Every structure is written in C-alpha cells, then in structure tokens.
Structure 1
C-alpha cells in the first residue's frame, strides 16, 4: 500500500511498529463480539468474471451495493403499527401472483430478491406468472416511483422442508432486467454468515398483511410497520410446544428465529410471509429474517417465526455468482427442488406482535388447541 518512506528516528520506531500491528490486525480480519455485517462497510475482494457469471461488474458492483444497502434516503420518526412513509423501507417488495399480492419479498441487489419458499406452494411454477412490485407503499395504486418487474428465475432452496416443516424456507427471485436504485427503491444489507444477534437491537417488520385475525387491511392498502424484539429460540419453543401439543413436529429450529412486539401490541397477519425483519447495525439496516410462520392473531398471540437469513448468506452469494445474467428476450426459468413439496401449511403467514404483559401471562393462560399454522 504505497512506497515506504525513510525509517523514522527517535520515537518514530514505536509508531511504525504500532502501524504494522494495526495492518496485521486488519489483514487477519479480527472481529469483536458485536455482530458484523458482511456487506457493510468492508468491500469484498474482486473475483474473476468466470466465477461470477451473474455479476456484471464484479467487485465494483459490490462496492456500489455497499454504498446504498440498508440506508434509506427518506427518513422520519418510526412509530410502529401505522402507515409507512414512501421510501422509508425501500427494499420492501410485493410478490404478485398473476398481478395479485400473495407475499412480501426483499430487494438485495439490482437483480435479486429473496422471499420465503412456502409462498410458492400449490401455485404455478412458471416465473411468467409472477411479478414484483417495488417502490410502492400502496398496493394496486402505482405512482411515479413504482416499478412492476417481471421475474426471470425462481430458485427455491433445495432443502426446503426436507428435514422439518418450514425448514430452509427461502427462495431467490431473479428479475428479467436490473432495477435502478432510487430514493424509493434500494436494497437491504445481507448479514454475515453465523452473525451473532443481540437482544437489544432495534428491529422492525413491514408488510401488507391483515391487521388482525378478522380485520383486513383496507384500501388504499398502505404498507404497515411494527417494532419487534428478538426472542430466544428456547423460550419460543416452550410457548409453541405448549400450544401445539398435538403437533410437536412444528418447532423453532436453528435456521429460524423468533421476534415479537414489546411496545404496541398491534399485529399484522395474513399476507406478510416473505417480508423483511431488519435490524439496525453499524448505521445500516440488515436483513435478519424473512417472515415464515406462526399461529393465528387471536389472543393470546404468539411470537412470529422467521427464516434466519445469516444461515443462508453463503447460499445466496453462491446463487448470485453462478447464475447467468438474465436474457430479457428468453422465457423465464424455474428451479425447484427435485422432490415434490410437502405442504406444511398455507402461504398466509401470521406475523404476531404482543405487549410485554401478554408474554408473562402466556405461561399461565396457554390452553386449548384453537391453533392455525400459516
């Protein structure tokens, strides 16, 4: 890194030694105990183009992505459980099936989004039947900042539900053409593999789901937000084991995580599957989870279960590197698991938020089956 100058005199040798030690520390990539974000801010090394057919600009594209991911240009006071400002969560996308909203999705770069695999159960496997709506906070009301994009490829994780219900519940969507980043369309940052999560993180979920079990989101179908806290998987499993006494196979596995609302107690329900759980790390919003499954929204409500994205960061990176760029003139392609899907539940996931008092009452008032897996 540049030419070495003359050897300093006097106490200058100590400064040179400290500088050398600092360079060694940086070179070895020593990490502290605080969660580290893989794409913020340290750039990844430039890789050969032959290894990354899906990346048009290699390391330069990664640098450009790191400069914008998880940093919305539109900011405002975040309340929770209310309408979202346009551009406040610019990575939020609506996954449309034949132009009708079915799930959420999350933009991670100009060509790729992630969502949950169960959103595609019992539906067409043709990418031409799916669209992605970006830059909008209102469903079915397209504005000047809205982009409806066609899908080129649907790549479901090969281990989806092979080991347990909702296991590896993640899917990647490749667009037919890259989307331009704007103040209203921008990607979320991806986490480092095996990222450690602290319980005091500022985390939020967003979606167009139902407001409660019996109350639909009314026109103009405005995007909703909610602040949540991360919950230990062990505690979450205790709650679900007691509730799902007749369905013990449903449990929170290591590639999942739980989150619930400790402030407002408001809930969003059906239609939020595949939507983002983002946490603020190192001044950027990182995609920690994808809304996967839960119980219904009737009281007492339960924490929501999310696909833990850091368990799949390497897989996401591999798909991005090895998948050829889309050809807008060619027909879309689908890549699904070889074996038939086993339906563990419908795609209408329930994302549940609750007040602190309810958490303590849950241990005493949990009773009766009345459950519904989404």
Structure 2
C-alpha cells in the first residue's frame, strides 16, 4: 500500500511531512522505501527497496496550530548507493531568501483533480508553479475558510501555485517536494502539507518551509546514532512490476524526474492511506 512521499537528502536520511504518520504506525519495520522509479507500480533495474531504521516526527507538530511543524525525518537502515537515478536533494540555508521569480516545480502521483485519478501506467506528474507571498495567500484563504484564524499560513509555511494553469497539489501528493532552480543547484524549499480541494479555480498549495527547519534537520543528523547494519533486513533489488494494492495515494520525486525519487509503502495495514 502506497502511503506517502519523501525526499532523499543524503545517503542515509530522508525528509517527509509529519502528517503522513498521523494516527498511523511509527514502527520503522512497518514501512519500506522505494527509490529510483518514475512509474508508481513499475520496477526497473534502477529501483531500490530500502528498510527504515527510524521515524522522527518533529516534537512541535500541531502543538500550536493545524499543520504546524509538519515535518519528519526518516533514517534508512543502510546508506543507499547514489546513482544517476537516485541522488539527494540540496537543502536550503537557514536564512535563505526566496524571490517570487524563481522557477519552481511540484511533483507527485496524486489525483489530477478532486474527481480525476491518475490512470495507468501511473507516470510521475510534475508542474511548474510560482511562489506566493504568505500575506496574499492568507487573504485568499480568509475568503473561503470560516476558521481561517486557526487554518492560516504561518511563518514555517510557504505557498505556491499557478493561477493560470491551475497547477497545485491535490489528494495523494502529501509529503511531495517543492524545488526551485537557484543559481548553484535545485534546492528543496518545501514539502507538500495542506490546501483546499483542488477544484478550479485552484488556490495556492501550502508547503512546510524547509529552511525554517534546517537547524533541526542538521541537529537530528548529527546527534542520532547510526543504525546497526547487522540488523538490517535484506535489501531487495526488484525486477518485477509492483502490484497496486489500494488507491493511488501520495508519492514524490524531484526535477529532473529520474532524480531523488522516493515512495513509502506500508507493509502491514492496508488501510493506511494518506491524503
């Protein structure tokens, strides 16, 4: 069962959103990581399945407001071998300023609209979007939400979308990446967190602002003991197509589409489906 998306940030660590594990198992053995595919249920020679060693949800998740501190870190049991199909995303610096004219992209296997699922062969979807100022984003949400005071875009969040094309995250894109083309590299600036239903006209999508949490990310990587490689389950190198066991839930990749690909699959509970 496909559960959620995440992004590789080094050979041992990945980022995802905390709400991916809300009311779900936090046992690493219940999940498997799939890297290196551009079709949701198709395995190739580039595909790698990796076991998890730790799931670390931010301690402040939703303590102050809905979707606050919506970020989690996942540690692999063994470092993955980096290839042209599997490579880490670049993290932003803590104080990075993002201008509105950046070229930014969202990616995932979520629904195409509220009533249109992604069809076989479930190819990875991507869309170019623009960053939207938080203040303007909140103005738009206040027009639609009666509880806009609680559900608002806070400082640890950012908005992105494309009003002309209607590109935005939809159901099944949770945990997906928002990457921007900066002068030195493609940088992971956001993780798909929440938004309104994706009917037209589309409202901006709300993402976890990654550079707000860079210090926490580096602290976790620095202080967390490495996993015991002798206790790792056998790594599988798959050659057969994956079988769909549920609806096409969330997934993620970055640009270019054959880089930084990751999926999470639940191994036990077939009801573990995410938005």
Deviations 1:72-97 (A, max 9, x none): xxxxxxxxxxxxxxxxxxxxxxxxxx
Q: Does 1:314 align with 2:215?
A: yes
Matching residue within 308, 311, 325 for 2:226: 325
Q: Give me the whole-angstrom Cα distance separating, in 2, the residues matched to 1:323 and 1:109.
A: 14
Q: Does 1:167 align with 2:55?
A: no
* Alignment partner of 1:279 out of 166, 180, 195: 180
Provide the rounded CA distance (Å) in 2 between the counterparts of 1:156 and 1:268: 22
1:117 aligned residue: 18
Residue 153, structure 1, aligned to residue 57, structure 2? no
In structure 1, runs of 5+ residues without a counterpart are: 1-99, 333-347, 350-373
Q: Deviations over 1:198-243 (max 9, x none)?
A: 0000100100101111111111111100000000000000111111
SS in 2 for 1:311: helix
Name whichever structure is richer in strand by fraction: 2
1:133 corresponds in structure 2 to: 34
CA RMSD in angstroms, aligned pairs only = 1.6
C-alpha deviation, 1:269, in angstroms: 1.4
Are 2:12 and 1:107 aligned? no
C-alpha separation in 2, matches of 1:144 and 1:298: 38
Mapped to 1, the partners of 2:78 and 2:71 lie a distance apart of: 22
Q: How many residues align?
A: 236
Q: Deviations over 1:313-335 (max 9, x none)?
A: 01000111111111133489xxx
Residue aligning to 2:82: 181
Q: Pick from 130, 136, 148 the counterpart of residue 229 of structure 1.
A: 130
Counterpart-to-counterpart distance in 1, 2:54 and 2:180: 28
Counterpart position of 2:157: 256
**Cα distance between partner residues in 2 of 1:102 and 1:160:** 19
Larger RCO of the pair (alpha carbons < 8 Å, separation 6+): 2
More helix by share: 1
Q: 2:197 aligns with which of 293, 296, 300?
A: 296
Runs of 4 or more off by more than 4 Å in structure 1? none
TM-score of the two chains, using structure 1 as the length reference: 0.61
Gaps of 5+ in 2: 234-248, 251-274
Q: How does 1:27-176 map to 2 (within 5 A)?
A: 100-176=1-77
1: distance between equivalents of 2:107 and 2:91? 17
* SS, match of residue 329 in structure 1: helix
Larger radius of gyration: 1
For normalisation by structure 2, the TM-score amounts to: 0.82
Instruction: Say whether 1:209 aligns with 2:110.
Output: yes
Distance 1:161 1:208 in 2: 26
Q: CA deviation at 1:265?
A: 2.6
Q: Could you list the per-position Cα deviations for residues 99-119 of structure 1 after superposition, in whole angstroms to 9, with x for gaps in the alignment?
A: x21221100000000000000
